[in-house]
Structure 1
Amino acid sequence: MKRPADDVNWKSKDMEEVDDFDIHSSDEDLDIVRQDSNYSKLSAESWLRVDSEYDEDDDAADEDRLVFEYDENEEHFWNDIATRLKRRAPYDRSVLECVVELLSGTGATKKRKLFLSAVDRRVWLNPTLKTLHWSSKRKGVGSLDLEEIRMVKGWNENRAILVETADRKRLGLSMSNHQDLQVWVRCLACFSSLQAKIFMQGLNISEREDYDPLLDSWGRTALRSKVRVGDYYLLDSPDTPRSHAILAFSASELGFYSIKLLSKTISELLGPEVLACVKELDHPNVLKYKDFLQCRDQEGLYAVFEHVPRGIVVSGYKLEGNKAVSEDMARKLINDVAGGVIYLHSRRVSLGNIRPDNLLFAADGSLKVNPLGGIFYEHSKRSEPITFGTEVETASAFAFSAPERCREAKKRPKTPSDAYATDAWSVGALMYFMVYGRAPFLGNTAESIQEAITTSRLEFPDSPKVSAKAKDFLRKTLGEKNPSKRVRVEH
């Protein structure tokens, strides 16, 4: 972009505009989304209702978040493509490759008005590529429609960016590094309206004039040369193992989704009834499935669902020796899990066996429960949960199962199984796993783990320290082997 003749005045004037990095609009104008859940109606005496100090202790919160960051040395359910692409310079990547980096969010700061201090922010793009979002501990999550943007300005001097809408609403942030700044300005230039004015010294944005995502490339290969399944171009190899999801781009909606191949056996076990139910599920804490497509070259189905860029919360394959999270952080995570489970129960759906691998981190930090981690109907003829892939054969798959679901245990409870009580046990097991860094009942084999679940008493390690209310919550969910006497998540 060629700068005006009065170069000095242009710079000083604009820098003065964003000096406070303030959002000049009301919460209502910027469509602030509150974090209050309609499904957090747990009992007044419940440990989950204790006020959290998480928002007051920024250092502790940051330390907890490190537990869930991507580890390149560990195989995850989700491919972290953005991590691989970020190693290349912005203009050594296509626009689509840069956009993927922004889906999981980047760090930024916002200066407090009239103060010298700054507060941390996280800013990201929705996978549909229609809205921009940013986090705020005090106000929740804010959003802005990309079509409403009329100006984007970037400054290399302090890595600042200013986004302004047609009605003069402004969002000003300082990015953590120059590369993030360049990526944001470039992507907003290509996906905002052509009426928007883009300013940044030294950044070539001529590509925005005729930019078409379908004419872009991925991995130095034209997008339209990629394997296509229905409406979706597969950005990963279709030979990706079934334990992984494939990143895909919708040709009609121009947004990102994830696709996973379901084997013929799993597809037949699920059946049309379950698949139709899964597509109807719609809740902020439940992974949204969009479609199921028939495979042409091989038997089975492609499951299409919303792309959750930050992947699984933590792997459940390692049952002990994990880093524990703070009690406040665990409370927030379990509240999200409970919200999703209560919603599923309201739709007469139970998960049966909720493992850490079934919990996914959304860009805003909330959790989403994968309903196909082990779904079955309360009144269905099916009596056993259905699980994906080969995970059901591993010992870790049983560590979060309720006693009544331990088929190989000799002292399995004789009382009829209660689907909702089974989910309550799994929620308690997840909570125990988070605060202690280990599963509540351990063993060397699947059989020994199931025996421990059905016969061993619940014990609490001396370290780390956990509050009495948290232990009471765990006793009510994990201490009762009889499902008919066990507390429900709704209670």
Structure 2
Amino acid sequence: MSEELRREYEIGAQIGRGRFGTVYRCVSAETGEEFAVKSIEKALLADIIDRECVEREAKIAQHAAAGNPRAVQVQDVYEDEEWLHVVMELCPGPDLFDRISGRGEPLSEAEAAVVMAQLMEAVAVCHQRGVAHRDIKPDNVLFDRVGGLKLADFGSAECFGDGRPMRGLVGTPYYVAPEVVAGRDYDEKVDVWSAGVVLYIMLSGMPPFYGDTAVEIFEKVLRANLRFPTRIFRTVSPAAKDLLRRMLCKDVSRRFSAEQVLGHPWITSGGGLRPAEEEAN
């Protein structure tokens, strides 16, 4: 582990493990403030592509998080011939996946609307900066000490802009957009699709496109036949279902942008839009 890092931070217990590295709790020697540090030993990377991937992750995370209150902030980056360390904001609470699975029942619309508004705030800023996250899922939605949402893990993120499309099967099967599965060029709206899947799960406790294998899931995603089983969605408002249809829209030209999601009445009302108010809108 880098000597410079050890001089400036006291390294504590392991708190996580990712695709390329291990995450530890750490404390600033100067201020006593707690952080998390993701440490990657370069010798363990399989090839030059892996090395470029982790180096790009650190750079993109810094760019996407700077001044973005809903993204995990990058405090410091240390690199030498053997190690790459990214010191980040510590988010000690359970992630969104644990919050959903630990309840045993779906979130209320008011709870889900708060989470979705904060998530889309994070995504909107990333998109404004030309960064697509490409792996939005409950596991990558963290919460800080006061309960504020923080988007994490930019390991699959990519920069876009100047008309440059993105390509490549990136993401997690349940959450990946159909244009990604189809192998077509795609844009930042893949993040809106993934966030739509997260919203569906928050409101129902299950994914909208389910399969026992990745192949089966991809087949369901490609068909994009969005359904709202009465048994599960009986108490979910028409406004919430309307937003889900606009986020989980196979036609990318008609799919909402992050900013449009933030402007939807279900979001602006905090998930409390009643039928009479829906008619008025």
Q: Tell me the equivalent position of 1:254.
A: 32
Q: Tell me the equivalent position of 2:263.
A: none
Alpha-carbon distance in structure 1 between the residues aligned to 2:126 and 2:169: 15
Cα displacement string for residues 151-183 of structure 1 (whole angstroms, at most 9, x for unaligned residues):
xxxxxxxxxxxxxxxxxxxxxxxxxxxxxxxxx
1:48-447 equivalent positions in 2, closer than 5 A = 229-236=6-13, 241-242=17-18, 245-262=23-40, 264=42, 265=45, 266-271=50-55, 275-280=58-63, 281-294=66-79, 299-315=82-98, 323-379=105-161, 383-384=167-168, 397-406=172-181, 412=182, 414=184, 416-419=185-188, 421-447=189-215
Alpha-carbon distance in structure 2 between the residues aligned to 1:237 and 1:328: 34
Check whether the contact 1:404–1:417 (CA below 8 A) recurs between aligned residues: yes
> What is the CA distance between 1:282 and its match in structure 2?
2.1
Alpha-carbon distance in structure 2 between the residues aligned to 1:422 and 1:261: 29
How many residue pairs are counted as aligned between the two chains? 242
Q: Name the structure, 1 or 2, with higher relative contact order (CA <8 Å, separation 6+).
A: 2
> What is the CA distance between 1:384 and its match in structure 2?
3.6
> What is the CA distance between 1:271 and its match in structure 2?
3.6
TM-score if structure 1 supplies the norm length?
0.45
What secondary structure is seen at the aligned counterpart in 1 of 2:30? Answer: coil
Q: Match of 1:256, as an amino acid? A: E
> What is the CA distance between 1:385 and its match in structure 2?
7.4
Structure 2 CA distance for partners of 1:315 and 1:362, relative to 1, 3 Å: same
Cα displacement string for residues 82-109 of structure 1 (whole angstroms, at most 9, x for unaligned residues):
xxxxxxxxxxxxxxxxxxxxxxxxxxxx
Q: Match of 2:8, as an amino acid? A: D
Q: Match of 2:23, as an amino acid? A: A
> What is the CA distance between 1:314 and its match in structure 2?
1.8
TM-score if structure 2 supplies the norm length?
0.76
Cα displacement string for residues 306-352 of structure 1 (whole angstroms, at most 9, x for unaligned residues):
1112141224997xx95210011000100000111111111111111
Greater C-alpha Rg? 1
Query: Which of 228, 232, 240 is matched with 1:470 structurally?
Result: 240
Q: Tell me the equivalent position of 1:490.
A: 259
Q: Match of 2:128, as an amino acid? A: S
Q: Match of 1:405, as an amino acid? A: V
What secondary structure is seen at the aligned counterpart in 1 of 2:259? Answer: coil
What secondary structure is seen at the aligned counterpart in 2 of 1:457? Answer: coil
Check whether the contact 1:431–1:474 (CA below 8 A) recurs between aligned residues: yes
Cα displacement string for residues 132-156 of structure 1 (whole angstroms, at most 9, x for unaligned residues):
xxxxxxxxxxxxxxxxxxxxxxxxx
What secondary structure is seen at the aligned counterpart in 2 of 1:304? Answer: strand
What secondary structure is seen at the aligned counterpart in 1 of 2:126? Answer: helix
The runs of 5 or more residues in structure 2 that have no matched partner are: 261-281
> What is the CA distance between 1:250 and its match in structure 2?
1.0
Check whether the contact 1:257–1:304 (CA below 8 A) recurs between aligned residues: yes
Structure 2 CA distance for partners of 1:229 and 1:283, relative to 1, 3 Å: same
Check whether the contact 2:165–2:186 (CA below 8 A) recurs between aligned residues: no
> What is the CA distance between 1:461 and its match in structure 2?
2.1
RMSD: 2.9
More helix by share: 2
Q: Percent identity?
A: 26
Q: Tell me the equivalent position of 2:268.
A: none
Check whether the contact 1:354–1:374 (CA below 8 A) recurs between aligned residues: no
Q: Match of 1:245, as an amino acid? A: V
Alpha-carbon distance in structure 2 between the residues aligned to 1:444 and 1:295: 43
Alpha-carbon distance in structure 1 between the residues aligned to 2:253 and 2:166: 20
Alpha-carbon distance in structure 2 between the residues aligned to 1:381 and 1:427: 20
Check whether the contact 1:359–1:368 (CA below 8 A) recurs between aligned residues: yes
Q: Tell me the equivalent position of 1:193.
A: none
What secondary structure is seen at the aligned counterpart in 2 of 1:293? Answer: strand
Alpha-carbon distance in structure 2 between the residues aligned to 1:324 and 1:429: 14
